[in-house]
Structure 1
Amino acid sequence: MTLFHNDQPLPPALRGAVVALGNFDGFHRGHQAVVGRAVARARDEGRPAIVATFDPHPARFFRAEGAHFRLTTLQQRARLFAAAGADATLVLRFDAALAALGPEQFVAEQLVGRFGATAVVTGEDFTFGKARAGTAPMLALLGAPYGMAAETVPAVTDATGVISSSRIRAALIAGDCGTATALLTRPFAIEGTVVHGDQRGRELGYPTANMELGDYLRPRYGIYAVRARLADGRILEGVANLGVRPSFDPPKELLEPYFFDFSGDLYGQTIEVQLVDFLRPEAKFDGLDALKAQMATDCENARQILIATPSP
């Protein structure tokens, strides 16, 4: 996947593209519909397909101290866009300068002037420009003088309502992995570098690959059945504690997956861990023997869940 930032020159081969424009955090079913339409249009017209995403998320720019809410990293999104057929990811750095552009300036200077977009595809609720003054219908009006077309894709719904990142976040906070997976079309996954821990898991006979949570949304603290993809493409299965480990002091927030039937050194490697199912909340145990017994039960429960839940 080719990834560019808006302060870099766009290669000539990518000018004249059909651009899917939005935040696309999570890249759920609704986002997939927008990108899918852009890719289909690009193929019909013999043009490149680009997905333009904002980083940081505008909500983070305006509320820097707010709670963590991200569902995907930029790198995860780029891989998902590529799998959906996009030729490149364009990262729009959301800073004070971009936030100050009015809708007309954004279209003229960015979409047309800098990137040479011939068509833009968005969701019907997309807003842009200073104070979110620009709407999806305005894109067609503002782009017409430059020969830039625009179209919107209706919201995707299910039996509950519109599929949205907010619904996915609510499901994860509740520990409802099934709903999150259905809306995303894949399990929610945390990607990070394996760091050194305090060796508690190794002492208990369950060595873990410790990962910090970074800017990700904090799902419900507890024990999860997980799958992980290593840098070399191997898939591992296991069980993970996500939280602050109440049986140990001092509390430290980590994702700590233990992988079945695996021995190897993962320190310093970047891995992606999928939360397949929630097993139980975190708990404090009376002694290490009780904790080890529960860990054995958790491993068996996770094995059975993973057997019944094929990898997509």
Structure 2
Amino acid sequence: MPPVTEIVYLDEFPGPAGTPSRTSPRGDTGARQSDLDRLQRGVLSIGNFDGVHLGHQSLLRRLRSMADELGGPSVAIVFDPHPAEILRPENPPPRLTTLPRRAELMSPLGIDFLLVCRTTQALLNLSPDDFFDRFIVSTLTARGMVEGPNFCFGKDRRGDIAMLRQRCDEQQMHLQIVTAADDGAEMISSSRIRQCLSQSDVASAAAMLGRPHRVSGIVVTGDQRGRKIGFPTANLDQWSTMPPSPGVYSGCVELESGARHPAAIHLGPNPTFETEMKLKFEIHVLDYSGSLYDQILAVDFIDHIRAVHSFASVDDLTAQLKRDVATTRRHYLNWMNR
């Protein structure tokens, strides 16, 4: 197995003579000097890496390759919260992946560290030159950088690739610009994946991610209606990443034990039984009969089956659920045998 990508938190952006905070407001340990020492003279890539999609993966493989060539650690850098949450708090982008999930997805690519820098207004106010000098040079003493063609840095995104190349040349740093990945139509991006999810197109999202989109949550007690009609469901709560739009989906789940099962997923209200249009996240796990209460369940969305709608009778609903299960099995087998 490849080494696990280690998360390091930097909670106070250091000045030229500053020292980083030792305690994170998240309850995690902030970056101590010993942590920063291990990141020195490495190869960096700065981005959001939300989703760790195929475009990110291409860039991260090149990051690993350059780190091997130069003999330093590979360091992917993200800013948390997303800068848009500070600059446009009324409309922040929903998350595709948590930070631990991003590190998990980076591990097979050989990335040594995921450096998580706390986003502050002071950080966002740094000019491109100040950002480069104080962070890339003084704090991390980077030997190289790998970025995409649309990379920008500094206040108001005024620093572009041309400026980055000039500053890297001045510091005798290696720089590689990786061509953006596309799917034959458009550039692959986290924004496009979010748009697909908002349109229930989880299959296109999966194609750009290189795997099904995942949402994890805790299984809680539900209304038990599904069990009474032969289709028991695990009811998910406290999910922290973007679910697709309401609908019925085929997918699979990963239990805390690591076991995987196909699953028919209902996301949305239950109009057959309720007038209240409350969003519910219900998963009928196939080929499983044990209790899942209080477990963390990872739900992977493979394809969209149908919209949510009301049925005239419980018998009509049951007949449709049987068809949904058959469709789920077919989609799951197609995905496993792709």
Contact 1:140–1:151 at 8 Å: present in 2 too? Answer: no
Identify which of 292, 307, 312 aligns with 2:333: 307
| TM-fit CA distance, 1:157 | 2.2
Q: Gaps (5+ residues) in structure 2?
A: 12-30
Partner amino acid for 2:184?
A
Partner amino acid for 2:10?
N
Q: Give % identity.
A: 36
The change in CA–CA distance for 1:181 and 1:147 in structure 2 (over 3 A counts) is same
Identify which of 115, 119, 134 aligns with 1:94: 119
**Distance in 2 between residues matched to 1:311 and 1:108, nearest whole Å:** 50
Partner residue, 1:106: 131
Partner amino acid for 1:3?
I
Q: TM-score by structure 2 length?
A: 0.85
- 1:73 matched to 2:98? The reply is yes
Identify which of 48, 54, 64 aligns with 2:73: 48
| TM-fit CA distance, 1:178 | 2.5
Q: TM-score by structure 1 length?
A: 0.92
Identify which of 275, 295, 300 aligns with 2:321: 295
The change in CA–CA distance for 1:199 and 1:147 in structure 2 (over 3 A counts) is farther
List per-residue Cα deviations over 1:136-190 (Å, max 9, x = no partner): 3322323444443332111112321222222222222222233222211111111
**Distance in 1 between residues matched to 2:137 and 2:280, nearest whole Å:** 44
Identify which of 208, 218, 221 aligns with 2:233: 208
- 1:6 matched to 2:32? The reply is no
- The two structures, once aligned, show a CA RMSD in angstroms of 2.1
**Distance in 1 between residues matched to 2:277 and 2:141, nearest whole Å:** 51
Identify which of 250, 273, 292 aligns with 2:299: 273
| TM-fit CA distance, 1:49 | 0.7
Partner residue, 2:246: 221
Partner residue, 1:34: 59
Moved more, 120-129 or 192-201: 192-201
Contact 1:213–1:255 at 8 Å: present in 2 too? Answer: no
Q: How does 1:227-266 map to 2 (within 5 A)?
A: 227-249=252-274, 250-266=276-292
- 1:196 matched to 2:200? The reply is no
Partner amino acid for 1:298?
D
**Distance in 1 between residues matched to 2:244 and 2:82, nearest whole Å:** 19
| TM-fit CA distance, 1:276 | 0.6
Contact 1:68–1:215 at 8 Å: present in 2 too? Answer: no
Identify which of 67, 89, 93 aligns with 1:64: 89
List per-residue Cα deviations over 1:194-219 (Å, max 9, x = no partner): 23333333333322222247453342
Moved more, 245-254 or 294-303: 245-254
**Distance in 1 between residues matched to 2:310 and 2:92, nearest whole Å:** 26
Contact 2:202–2:244 at 8 Å: present in 1 too? Answer: no
List per-residue Cα deviations over 1:27-85 (Å, max 9, x = no partner): 11111111111111011222111111222222233222326532212121111111211
Partner amino acid for 1:148?
M
Contact 2:217–2:297 at 8 Å: present in 1 too? Answer: yes
**Distance in 2 between residues matched to 1:233 and 1:75, nearest whole Å:** 17
Partner residue, 1:168: 193
**Distance in 1 between residues matched to 2:118 and 2:273, nearest whole Å:** 40
Contact 1:17–1:49 at 8 Å: present in 2 too? Answer: yes
**Distance in 2 between residues matched to 1:263 and 1:64, nearest whole Å:** 43
**Distance in 2 between residues matched to 1:52 and 1:153, nearest whole Å:** 16
Alignment length (residue pairs): 312
